[in-house]
Chains A and B, each alone.
Chain A
Amino acid sequence: MAITTARSARSVAANRSVRARKMADAIATAILWAMASSIIVMLAAFVLYMVYLGGQALTPSFIFGVPKETTAGGGVGPEIYNSFYILFLTLLFTVPIAVAAGVYIQEYARPGTFRNVVQFSAESLATVPSVVMGLFGLLVFVYLFKWKFTALGGALTLTLLNLPALMRVTQEALASVPDTLREASMALAGTKWQTITRVVLPSAIGRLTTGVVLIAGRIFGETAALIFTAGLSVPFNNPYDLNPMRPAETLAVHLWYTHSESIVPDVDRIGNGSALVLLIMVLIFNVAARVLGRQLTKRFTGRAS
């Protein structure tokens, strides 16, 4: 009898504790779910508000037209073009240098002074605020080299700004490739270079592409570094100039400029429209890059993602 009582008492206590724990679990799940959902809500609210504000501005004459200095009705065609142009130039410089440096540090460099100095330099470079980097670009490219405001100067400044981040992304992408694959290639009498170009880099291509996309998003949105280096104007006669040695105001810079300096009467329309275009551009670029990354991965590895 005593045994039964003790057992039932124990089971009541156990039940109570199970119920309490289940309750705690349910509450925790609900809170975590709410936090995660709030991200979706915030994004949706943000995008809807942007669309609401900028939607009316998106007319062909706005998207393809040239900006106006004093009157209403200016467009952002050349700014969109410049955003892509500077993005292209920046990636042209950043990707080869960052990937090469990342490969060297991760695959070749033995632990030692040189490797530490490169790492330290990259980390220091990564912490420089973009406005400071812009000032540096102003002093070097605009004044010292006497280039004035140029697309090239802007792109080189952005290269300095984004190099460390992409180098780190490269290192992490390479580090994620298992050593067993390197061993397999070396055991098949591959040289180090063959191992890197035929096994390691193709295996890392997905992560590398993601890294480039993140960098590209930052380049699209960058203003501080470009105001001092690529300038606040587009060439009057030839707004779609391919020459890199001319001023190249990007969309993000234009957004800042219209709101803070411009004297056109339709500031809000241009600002809201520019913001929406910028958002759409980043979105398109993200999706395109993701598709590209998947295609590349499939092509190199024979398997989707």
Chain B
Amino acid sequence: MIDTAPQQTLETALDKIVAKDVNVFYGTFQAIKHASLTMKDQHVTALIGPSGCGKSTFIRALNRMHDLTPGARVEGTILLDGEDVYGPDADPVVIRHRIGMVFQRPNPFPKTIYENVVYGPRIHGERDKSKLDEIAERALRQAALWDEVKDRMQRSALDLSGGQQQRLCIARAVALNPEVILMDEPASALDPIATSKIEDLIGQLTDHYTVVIVTHSMQQAARISDFTAFFHLGEIVEVGPTSQIFTHPKEKRTEDYITGRFG
């Protein structure tokens, strides 16, 4: 009975992002086919599936990153708090302000640690030095990086280790105070210790943010997510509470994948 407690919160949580019948094309190649998925507010939704199944393509559709790729086209509806992300009035800059993103490889700017964290607030017009300092500290604390870098904020971000760089990228994303954070295999380029730090961090982020994470590691999905969606060949095969997906999958393909029969 205790087991059902988190699931109840899952059921009562609000819908943060709702994707309905989403198709993504690269030129004539269809990478995502009729994908529908609801991502709950202040919960972690994990997208799993074998390489090339379209999970990264799907997550990049949520904050309109495909706008930057020549030849990419997104069809269908994606609602953020009920507003169409691809609607005629939607501004991609505003959308990306509300939906932050962390990439597969740490990609800090070749600037100081401080300048990396305050980049977002700065380009949105925050000039007050003490405000920026405050934002930087809050963001770095949320990313569990503050203690490691507080004495070397003016050093280059490129001098940090890979794991620290990735947490810096998370800090940089949360500095904008987004509502949703998308993570595209954020730990795939990191060693196990750095990975476990990132995973702990993701658990804490749901106090403030909705998290959507792409991962090829089923263990990771099982450890950190509330909801799991299984992608295969551009389709969402099955969606459900993580515990259910991993213990009682309804679809044969899901079961084959999580038991390691392919992928």
Contact = CB atoms under 8 A, between A and B. Distances in A.
Q: Real complex partners, A and B?
A: yes
Interface of A: 110-111, 178, 180-191, 194, 198-199, 202-203, 300-303
Interface of B: 63, 65, 68, 70, 93-94, 96-97, 100-101, 103, 105, 107-113, 115, 119-120, 123-124, 154-159, 169, 172-173, 176
B172 A188 contact: yes
Contacts of B70: 110-111
Nearest to B91: A189
A203 B110 contact: yes
Contacts, number: 82
Nearest to B68: A186
A180 B105 contact: yes
Nearest to A184: B107
A26 B131 CA distance: 63
Contact of A302 (B68, B97, B105, B156): B156
A66 B102 CA distance: 64
B96 A188 contact: yes
12 contacts: A181-B110, A183-B65, A184-B108, A184-B109, A188-B100, A188-B119, A189-B96, A189-B124, A202-B110, A300-B111, A302-B110, A302-B154
B158 A187 contact: no
B169 A184 contact: yes
Nearest to B120: A188
A290 B29 CA distance: 48
Contacts of A203: 109-110
Contacts of B108: 184
A188 B68 contact: no
Given A187-B96, A194-B123, A302-B115, 19 more contacts: A111-B70, A182-B68, A184-B109, A185-B119, A187-B173, A188-B100, A188-B119, A188-B120, A188-B173, A189-B93, A190-B120, A190-B123, A202-B110, A202-B111, A301-B111, A301-B156, A302-B154, A302-B156, A302-B157
A187 to B, nearest CB: 4
A199 B120 contact: no
Contact of A189 (B105, B109, B120, B158): B120
Contacts of B173: 187-188
Given A186-B96, A198-B119, A181 B109 contact: yes
A189 B123 contact: yes
A110 B105 CA distance: 27
A111 B96 CA distance: 26
A111 to B, nearest CB: 8
Contacts of B111: 202, 300-302
A191 B173 CA distance: 16
Given A302-B157, A303-B156, A303-B158, A188 B123 contact: yes
Contact of A303 (B93, B94, B110, B119): B110
Contacts of A189: 93-94, 96-97, 120, 123-124, 176
A303 B115 CA distance: 13
A301 B110 contact: yes
A70 B191 CA distance: 78
A184 B97 CA distance: 12
Contacts of A300: 110-111
A282 B124 CA distance: 43
B97 to A, nearest CB: 4
Nearest to B114: A302
A202 B157 CA distance: 15
Chain A CB within 10 Å, residue with most, of B103, B107, B112: B107
B161 to A, nearest CB: 15
B123 A198 contact: yes
Contacts of B97: 189
Leading 10 A-B pairs by shortest Cβ distance: A303-B156, A302-B112, A189-B97, A180-B107, A301-B110, A187-B101, A302-B156, A189-B96, A188-B120, A184-B107
